[in-house]
Amino acid sequence: MFSVSICCRNILFNAPFPWPIGVVGFMAFPELMTGSDEEKEKALKILAGDPFFCVHELGPLSDEMWAKAKEMFKGKTLVRCLQPDILGQKLDIGSTDRSERRKAVKYITGEIEKAAKLGLKAVAMCSGPDPGPAKRDEAVRNTLDSLRTICRTAAKHGLNVVFEVFDRDYDKRLLMGPTKEAVETLRTLRADYGNIGLLWDLSHAPMLNETPSVLEEVNDVLVHIHIGCAKKVDDGFLDSHPGFYTPGAVNGIDEVAELLKTLYRIGYTGAVSFEVKPEPTQTSLEIVNTAKGVLVTAYYKALESVLSSV
């Protein structure tokens, strides 16, 4: 957590950042996905020792590594991210093939049970691929049915489900998808299951043709925020989460400041997490520290705008 000091109309304001700050660990330190146990443990120690972050989003780890993580991150919030599992294994909770759908649900509910045994309180996930306009309605119905089972399992173990929307047209091409469409499904679920909510990612906004203003209509289901960049390429965008100021990175201080102003206006109370990934010529610490600087500067800019309008 950090504070900024700002003078407005000859009054000095000291304003602590109002939301818990997190980081998607397996993005910032890719070795947490592909490295040796020694490399993974080193990355976890670096993350755990950073006082800037109090929320840590981690992907698949061995039982031994999770035990070490639990010890290292005492007093901090750990979230089990299932997005890399779902994307990497091509799991589809909305599949028109019942056996594929059952396979996906079985895997996700199994990981929820493992997370519960570790004492975690939340898992994050996403939908399966978009099958195209002709089969989209059926896929949404199937996704809704699958999420009922997933939410029921999570509720039994006292876990929350954080549901992330991705792009539909450029890179990941998932069913969910435009925020307003995803929120309709989540609102239907929340009539029976209050343990599921929306994760909105600034990185995905350019690919969805969205801006933070979309959040003003979905605050009733919004529970988590990711901050990062899409990458502009010749034929569109990549969901590669480049660090800020990396060539091709779309989003910067202005976009983050606008997001923070929107979160302030709607009374958001959840966490904000960085999701940035080093490119081959960059280091993890380089892109993480740059992201910190962007957040501090954007917060100052957002606060300055809010105070000047009072």
pLDDT given for residue 29 in this prediction: 98
Q: Give the residue among 49, 52, 50 at the shortest CA–CA distance from 2.
A: 52
pLDDT given for residue 9 in this prediction: 73
pLDDT given for residue 304 in this prediction: 86
pLDDT given for residue 11 in this prediction: 73
Q: Tokens in use for 188? A: 């239907």
Q: Give CA–CA dist 90/215, Å, rounded.
A: 29
Q: Where do the domains of the chain lie, and which CATH numbers do they carry?
A: 19-308 (3.20.20.150)
Q: What is the mean pLDDT of each run of 10 residues along the chain (310 residues)?
A: 77 86 97 95 96 96 93 95 97 96 98 95 97 96 97 97 97 95 95 96 96 95 97 94 96 97 96 97 97 96 81
Q: In angstroms, what CA-CA distances link 38 with 61, 89, 100, 305?
A: 13, 25, 35, 46
Amino acid at 23: V
Our measurement of the distance from residue 130's CA atom to the centroid of its chain's CA atoms, rounded to an integer in Å, reads 20
Q: What is the pTM assigned to this prediction?
A: 0.95
Bond prior to 88 in cis (omega within 30° of 0): no
Q: Tokens in use for 285? A: 């610490």
Torsional sign, CA 132, 133, 134, 135: positive
Amino acid at 81: C
Q: How many residues does the chain have?
A: 310
Q: Give CA–CA dist 66/25, Å, rounded.
A: 13
CB 6 within 8 A of CB 13: yes
The 3-class secondary structure across 74-117, one letter per residue, is CCCEEEEECHHHHHHCCCCCCCCCHHHHHHHHHHHHHHHHHHHH
Our measurement of the distance from residue 29's CA atom to the centroid of its chain's CA atoms, rounded to an integer in Å, reads 15
Q: Tokens in use for 81? A: 């991210």
Torsional sign, CA 144, 148, 153, 157: positive
Q: Give CA–CA dist 123/160, Å, rounded.
A: 6
pLDDT given for residue 310 in this prediction: 61
Determine the Cα angle at 144 with ends 141 and 146, to 5°.
110
Q: Tokens in use for 249? A: 């990175």
Could you give the angle at which helices 179-190 and 133-156 cross, rounded to 10 degrees?
40
Could you give the angle at which helices 37-48 and 284-308 cross, rounded to 10 degrees?
30
Give the helix/strand (H/E) hosting 122: strand 122-125
pLDDT given for residue 123 in this prediction: 98
